[in-house]
């Protein structure tokens, strides 16, 4: 049974997803690429449906640190882990959709400008690992 997500839970989903996009974008920075990357991420989030789309496309943008990539990681990656746990508990049918949306957005951002750089590919793998840390479908866990 799926339960409606609270505002705080939706913000956690947004923090993880937008943080992931920010991490990939900053892995190979460039001003022109940033515009293309933001459109690519928006398209990926807009292509979702149900509670995941609602969480990612409505409400305030999350406040992410801007001082360093390490600081952003310290917020974004744990938020991805919490988001998967939230969905596993409240809307288990949406876990795969969230993982897919975040990874699709990260991939689109990486490909939006000059193809996928090694630093972007490495960051996508860190994002994938955070998404796979908990919840149904994680390595060693039942669906």
pLDDT digits (tens, 9 = 90+) for 78-118: 999 999 999 999 999 999 999 999 999 999 998 887 788 89
Return d(Cα 65, Cα 89) in angstroms, integer.
28
Residue 34 binned pLDDT confidence (cut-offs 50, 70, 90): low
Return d(Cα 12, Cα 36) in angstroms, integer.
25
> Among residues of the chain, what percentage have pLDDT more than 90?
59
Return d(Cα 134, Cα 141) in angstroms, integer.
8
Q: Is pLDDT at 127 greater than 90 in this prediction?
A: yes
Q: Which of 113, 114, 88 is nearest to 99 (CA)?
A: 88
pLDDT of residue 93: 93
Q: Which of 108, 105, 114, 106 is nearest to 30 (CA)?
A: 114
Average pLDDT over residues 53-65: 91
Q: Which of 44, 31, 20 is nearest to 113 (CA)?
A: 31
Residue 2 binned pLDDT confidence (cut-offs 50, 70, 90): low
* Residue 94: DSSP 8-state: G
Q: Is pLDDT at 66 greater than 60 in this prediction?
A: yes
pLDDT digits (tens, 9 = 90+) for 17-32: 999 999 998 887 765 5
pLDDT of residue 71: 92
Mean pLDDT of the chain: 86
Return d(Cα 73, Cα 19) in angstroms, integer.
8
Residue 7 binned pLDDT confidence (cut-offs 50, 70, 90): very high
């Amino acid at each position: 049974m799926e339960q409606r997500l609270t505002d705080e839970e939706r913000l956690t989903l947004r923090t993880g997803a937008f943080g992931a996009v920010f991490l990939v974008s900053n892995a190979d920075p460039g001003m022109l690429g940033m515009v293309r990357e933001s459109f690519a991420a928006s398209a990926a989030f807009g292509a979702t449906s149900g509670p995941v789309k609602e969480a990612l496309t409505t409400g305030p943008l999350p406040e992410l640190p801007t001082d360093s990539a390490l600081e952003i990681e310290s917020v974004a990656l744990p938020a991805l882990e919490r988001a998967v746990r939230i969905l596993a508990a409240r809307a288990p049918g949406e876990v795969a959709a969230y993982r897919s949306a975040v990874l699709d957005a990260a991939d689109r951002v990486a490909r939006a400008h000059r193809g996928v750089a090694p630093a972007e590919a490495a960051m996508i793998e860190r994002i994938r690992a955070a998404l796979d840390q908990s919840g149904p479908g994680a390595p060693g866990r039942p669906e």
